[in-house]
Chain A
Amino acid sequence: METYLGEKQQASQWSPYINNGGSCLAVAGEDFAVIASDTRMSLGYSIKTRYSTKYLKITEKCSIVSSGMQADIFTLHKVLKSRAQIYEQKHGKPMSTDAVAKLVSRLLYYRRFFPYYTFNIVAGIDDEGVGCVFSYDAIGTLERVKYSASGSGSSLIEPVLDNQVALKNRNDIKKEDYKLTKENAIDLVKDAITSAGERDIYTGDFVEISIIDINGTHEDKFELRFD
């Protein structure tokens, strides 16, 4: 169908992808990592469910959160869980966080030409006991960072983390004097995702937060706004 300007207008094509919204973030400290995700699953302007987990504990030292399309998140997490068990049976020990990070990257790239609509963050403790966060794009580009946010609220959360964790654009504090403690990090993550819940309509309901350190993983849950 041609308009009067001569452009072709195409009927909208069916897409295999939808976005179920939600936000995820993770912050790495010196000897710990904090990872969190909300649990709201939306479709358009409706809420499909207030509790649909985006979080998966892979080992005692490593977890993943993913935002994007719930079906792909669910499947990716299933595959990852199975692969972690296979690794443990084959090698007699759990996967290291670096190994998990690489595996996720490869699993995503395996679907290079029909990607998982997932935006993942892997966080945990590396082999030296140092906290680490890995962020990805949909096809597995891997980068180790100190913090990351993904999902519908990421543009609201990322600047907060830039300012509070990386101390960017601050005139009031010297980098050398500052150390991120576990309690500060947990509060920061809670505040960041709560703030995202205030303004982002797709973020809300519950948050699953997890603190990973040398002793293992401690999981917790708290409420956000239900509107």
Chain B
Amino acid sequence: MFRTQYDSDISIYSPEGRLYQIEYAMQAVAQGSTALGLKSKTHAVVVTLMRSSDELSSHQRKIFKVDGHMGIAISGLTADARVLLKFMRNETLHHKFVYGSDLPTGEVVSSLAMKSQRNTQRWGRRPYGVGLLVIGYDGDKTHLYQTSPSGNCFSYYAQAIGSRSQSARTYLEKNFKEFPELGLEELVLHGVKALKESSGKETLTKLNVGIAVVGKEQKFEILKPNKVQSYLDQILQTEGEIEIENENENEKDEEAETLELKLD
């Protein structure tokens, strides 16, 4: 109701105690195409849907390597993501140089949270309009974190961000209890199935699906298109079942929902 009065600057609270600029920034994340992450005891996986603006252009990369044991999937403003990526790469490399070990994922994410918060409380700056899903393997454990423009960071068993992510999230909520004991192959399959829930009318191909894995004895690796295709083929075999489920879930008014959902 009071939105237009209290949303012109990051430093203005609304009477309900909300900072609308941050919520608008989180809306930028929700506009990006779907990225989701899930983890087991031994591996963590991210799966993304890569958009291309037209047939002539390449698909927008959404997965980036930070270090041998850590990587990110992004949703939102890619340019902002590049800044945060550079920051993370710097932190991890510096730690490796000084201490000779991998920087724990949680610590990088904490630094990222501090960095993001700074932009919500400084004159002339704006929040980073990108959400990251950070996966990593260190200290014999897998990690999955979500960062948001607000500066809040949470650890997850599984999470999906971006447009139409609610469908993927519902799938993950249904299945996450069995993730911890799964092997890598099955984990990735769940990820791709979850992505299919969010893909809407778009067909999943090896060109527009990105998958990356990290884990025990597995350095962070972005899978090559042929490997992606092999997972898609496995999903196609069971496609009949999934199509029936999709018809029941789609076409809700996503926009109205996302604002409330993003208040984390």
Q: Smallest Cβ distance from B262 to chain A, in angstroms?
A: 31
A-facing residues in B85-137 (Cβ within 8 Å): 89, 93, 96-97
State A81–B68 Cα separation when bound (angstroms). 13
A78 close to B97 (CB less than 8 A): yes
Whether, in the assembled complex, A85 has its beta carbon less than 8 Å from a beta carbon of chain B, the answer is yes
A82 close to B96 (CB less than 8 A): yes
Q: Smallest Cβ distance from A86 to chain B, in angstroms?
A: 7
Contacts of A12 in B (CB 8 A): none
A86 close to B93 (CB less than 8 A): yes
A-B interface pairs (CB < 8 A), number: 11
Q: Smallest Cβ distance from A166 to chain B, in angstroms?
A: 39
State A85–B66 Cα separation when bound (angstroms). 11
State A82–B98 Cα separation when bound (angstroms). 10
Residue of B nearest to A79 (CB): B97
Residue of B nearest to A92 (CB): B65
State A89–B71 Cα separation when bound (angstroms). 12
A89 close to B89 (CB less than 8 A): yes
B-facing residues in A78-97 (Cβ within 8 Å): 78-79, 81-82, 85-86, 89
Residue of A nearest to B98 (CB): A78
How many residues of B sit at the interface, in one of the four size bands? Answer: under 10
Q: Smallest Cβ distance from B131 to chain A, in angstroms?
A: 22
A-facing residues in B55-99 (Cβ within 8 Å): 65, 89, 93, 96-97
Contacts of B93 in A (CB 8 A): 82, 85-86
Q: Smallest Cβ distance from A222 to chain B, in angstroms?
A: 27
Residue of A nearest to B85 (CB): A89
State A82–B91 Cα separation when bound (angstroms). 12
State A131–B81 Cα separation when bound (angstroms). 40
Residue of A nearest to B65 (CB): A89
B89 close to A82 (CB less than 8 A): no
Contacts of A82 in B (CB 8 A): 93, 96-97
- Binary B-proximity of A56-92 (CB < 8 A = 1, otherwise 0): 0000000000000000000000110110011001000
Contacts of A89 in B (CB 8 A): 65, 89
Contacts of B65 in A (CB 8 A): 89
Contacts of A78 in B (CB 8 A): 97
Contacts of A81 in B (CB 8 A): 97
Q: Smallest Cβ distance from A147 to chain B, in angstroms?
A: 32
Q: Smallest Cβ distance from B188 to chain A, in angstroms?
A: 24
State A81–B94 Cα separation when bound (angstroms). 12
Residue of B nearest to A86 (CB): B93
State A70–B96 Cα separation when bound (angstroms). 20
Q: Smallest Cβ distance from A24 to chain B, in angstroms?
A: 23
Residue of A nearest to B89 (CB): A89
State A85–B96 Cα separation when bound (angstroms). 11
Contacts of A85 in B (CB 8 A): 93, 96
- Binary B-proximity of A118-144 (CB < 8 A = 1, otherwise 0): 000000000000000000000000000
State A79–B94 Cα separation when bound (angstroms). 11
Contacts of B89 in A (CB 8 A): 89
Contacts of A79 in B (CB 8 A): 97
5 contacts between A and B (CB under 8 A): A78-B97, A81-B97, A82-B96, A85-B93, A89-B89
Task: Given A79-B97, A82-B97, output 8 extra A-B contacts at Cβ < 8 Å.
Answer: A78-B97, A82-B93, A82-B96, A85-B93, A85-B96, A86-B93, A89-B65, A89-B89
List the interface of chain A (C-beta within 8 A of B): 78-79, 81-82, 85-86, 89
List the interface of chain B (C-beta within 8 A of A): 65, 89, 93, 96-97
Instruction: Give the top 7 A-B pairs by smallest Cβ distance, nearest first.
Output: A82-B97, A89-B89, A82-B93, A85-B93, A78-B97, A86-B93, A82-B96
